[in-house]
Structures are given as structure tokens and as C-alpha cells.
Amino acid sequence: MLDDLSEIAASQPAERALLETVRRVLRRPSGWVALVLHLSRLADRRPYHGRIARALLAEAVPRGGGEIHALSNGDLLLFCDAQEPSPARLLERLFPPALISSWRLETDALDLIAYAAGRLTEMPVTPPPPTPHAAAEPAARVPELFTERDAIAPQMVAGLFHRQSGLRLIQGGMQLAFRDLTPDLARLAARAPEAEGAFSDIALRRHYLAALDPPLLAALSAALGSFSPLDIAAPRLEATLHLPLSLPGVLSEGFAHLAAQSRRAGVRLGIKLDLAEALTDAVALEAARGVIAEAGARFVLAGVTAATLACFTPAALAPDLLLLDYSSDLAAMNPDAARLFGPRGPAHVALRQADSEATLAWGVAHGISLFQGRHVEAMLGAARMLGCPDARACTLGQCIARAGALEPAGRFGCTRPALLDGIGRARAAA
């Protein structure tokens, strides 16, 4: 069987080397152990996973002799002396047990052969594109963006943010609870092609996003009374608007000005602070909370994930609203509701990334009634289309995309744009 694979292996140097080693050790399998770390099964694989795992495996090599193979799909394979202490226990402290296989070649040679055959016959794997969180390797350059030279004019702001809706599920129906503005990273990156890679660096991304505060605040102040999607006082909005700001943004003159305007207009704002941003300066956080409360706004805490909950109890910051990011990890950890929600319970939690009915069901089972995500947008879109006389000309996807846009160009094609800002006062079944 191994001979049949030689030809295939020719195009994959790492796999070819593995094949040679497998052949060699199977001639005298006694005393050998093969340890495989299946990093290719890791959902959110980062460069440091491989780097650190490889270093730990390398420690086992000089002791008893052995070999490490780094395969093109990201898996690491160690052949070592069975008499030596195995690094498997160390790896188990860092990776789920399902990612680790250990085979004694005297008895488990077939498992190794099957594994090697699997690697040799699968298509070469290209590395996945970086996710927004995958900032383990820094961008090479630090381009200057959004400074005085290329400042973002308030009238351009609408094109750089998109909007989602927060929905409250109530007995037999739903209500629009809030609107949530989020910077559109793709558009920001497209605006600054020289900054390629910079937005995937967590530190640079947050620095650049903080530079959006002044134009956003100026744009909102300017839009007051304009009945545009950025008009926080427009009566049809019916819901609190969540603004993403940095700590300096909250403590700025621009926010003081907008807060005074919103107070006069009787509008409630939600100030969305990302958890990491909030903890850059504990003293400034206290000051910002005072400013938010004085403005009559809500303190909305975002950026809370399953991984965050492993080391942090966000309820201790007593936000008015906690935006919790749903993920399969969150569902798997089944967080202790009392610890997560604090004394105020789930009423002040909104579940984000509610992209499926199952997510909503998970939230409801945990006492959550506020949701934000693709499934919510679909529910709202369907409700809008039910009440829209021109709905036949549109698809649900178009309606959702237009409702998320804040600029006229993004809403092009909709003949009833006023409906995009509400749910048509319809009360759809949940």
C-alpha cells in the first residue's frame, strides 16, 4: 500500500518525508511511538499553535532520538522512543484530547499507515485567509491612516459603517430593541489599500478605529433632524442607537456635544465600548462611565466571547447591556448563568451572532430575550416585506442588505426606504 503512494507523495515534500520514515520505522516497529497532533482539526488555528507545539515536541527528540514531521495540512507528527516520557501529557494541557493520537507501532501500525495514506491522498491544503481575530503575526508596516492628511469627512461616515438591529422576543412576537452601528472593516481596508494587512493586526485595527470617533460623532450631530439613517432623533427609529466609541471618544468634546443634542431631542444613545478598549485605562473607564450616565446614555459592553468568559466576569463591570458573542464554544461551555449574567440576570444581555434558529433557541433556554445577528435580520426583513406593498420586486437578501446600509447608494432599488428603518410597525410571530 505504501509503495502505491510514492508517486502521489512526489509532489508533497513533507508527506514524502513522512512516507520514508513510516517505511523505515515499520521495518522494526518495536519500541517506537508515533504521536500525532491534528492541528488541521483546530477550528481557529493560529501560527502560535504550530510554533509552540513544535517546540514542545522537539524537547522529546534529543532525549531518545526521533523525528518530527510538519505536514502541509498543519498536523505535527513525532516518532519517538517508547521508553522515553511522551510529550502527550504536556500537549493535553494545551489542546483538546481529540486532537492528539498516540500509536505504539508494535500494535497500532495500521493506524499510522491509515493516517499516512490519508495525508498522502488528500488535496494539498492552502492556508485559510486570516480571520479578523487572527492577529498573531503583526503587519509588517504601520501605515498612517485617517490623519489630518486623509481625514474622514463626516459626510463619508455613512459609507464606512453598517447597521444591524437588536430584536427583543416577546410573548408571541418581536420588538425592535436597538440599532447597532459597526465599522465596516472591508470598506475601511478598501479605502486604504496601502494598509494591506494592518486591519488584521488587533493593535493597529483598534488604533485606526479610534480615529473614526470624531467623524462619526460629527456626522451624527450634523444628521440630527435630517431624517437620514444617521438621524438619531428620527421618530421612526423607535429604538436606541448603539455607537461604537473608544474611551477617548467618550471623553471628547464631540461626544459632549452630541450628548447635549440627544438629551434635548429626548433620544437615548447606547455607548458601545469593547471590553478590551474599556480596560486600556481603568481610570478613564470610570470617567467615561460617569460621562455616559450623565448623558442619559446606556453603557453597552461588547467583545465578550466564550474565551473571554474563561478568565473574566463581564457582569462585574455592571454594564447596562452586555453584548455576548454566540459561538459553538459558548454553547459547549454552557456558562454558569449566575456568573455570566450577574445579579441583574439575563435581561441585560443581548446575544450576538444569532445567525440561526438554534442560536435563538440556546439564548431563550438561557433566559435571553435580546438578539442580534443574521437570523434576526432575516426575521426583520421578512416582517418588513410582509408590510411592504412593493415587496414582490425584491428578494429577502436585498432587503436585509439595504436595511444595513446607511448611505443612499446602499439602499438603491428600495422604493420604500422609510420601512428599512423600522419593522413596519408589524408584529411578526417569533
Tally of CB atoms within 10 A around 123: 7
* Binding characters for another protein, 358-397, by CB under 8 A (x = yes): ----------------------------------------
Residue 68 Cβ vs another protein, minimum distance, rounded to whole Å:
14
Interacting span for another protein (CB under 8 A) from 118-126, 129-137, 370-378, 397-405: 129-137
Beta carbons of 295 and 251 less than 8 angstroms apart: no
Under rule CB under 8 A, residue 308 binds another protein: yes
Residue 293 Cβ vs another protein, minimum distance, rounded to whole Å:
16
Longest CA–CA span in the chain (Å) reads 84
Q: Which residue in the set 303, 335, 387, 417 belongs to the binding site for another protein (CB under 8 A)?
A: 303
- Among 168, 177, 157, which Cα is nearest to 422's? 177
The dihedral through the CA atoms of 207, 208, 211, 213 has a sign that is negative
Residue 302 Cβ vs another protein, minimum distance, rounded to whole Å:
11
The interface with another protein within residues 67-96 (CB under 8 A) comprises 90, 93-94
Cell of 48: 502560535
The interface with another protein within residues 27-66 (CB under 8 A) comprises 44, 46, 48-49, 51-52, 55
Residue 424 Cβ vs another protein, minimum distance, rounded to whole Å:
38
Q: Which residue in the set 63, 114, 118, 144 belongs to the binding site for another protein (CB under 8 A)?
A: 144
Residue 93 Cβ vs another protein, minimum distance, rounded to whole Å:
5
Beta pairing partners, 167: 176, 371
Beta strands per DSSP E along 209-259:
240-244
Interacting span for another protein (CB under 8 A) from 158-166, 304-312, 371-379, 388-396: 304-312
- What SS3 class is residue 40? helix
The dihedral through the CA atoms of 388, 391, 392, 396 has a sign that is negative
Q: Which residue in the set 307, 333, 396, 426 belongs to the binding site for another protein (CB under 8 A)?
A: 307
Cell of 279: 480596560
Beta carbons of 90 and 56 less than 8 angstroms apart: yes
Beta carbons of 37 and 100 less than 8 angstroms apart: yes
Inter-axis angle of helices 374-386 and 357-365, nearest 10: 110
Under rule CB under 8 A, residue 314 binds another protein: yes
Under rule CB under 8 A, residue 293 binds another protein: no
Residue 348 Cβ vs another protein, minimum distance, rounded to whole Å:
15
Cα separation, 192 vs 380, in Å, equals 33
Binding site for another protein (CB under 8 A): 44, 46, 48-49, 51-52, 55, 90, 93-94, 133, 135-136, 138, 141-145, 147, 201-204, 206-207, 210, 275-277, 279-283, 303, 305-314, 316-317
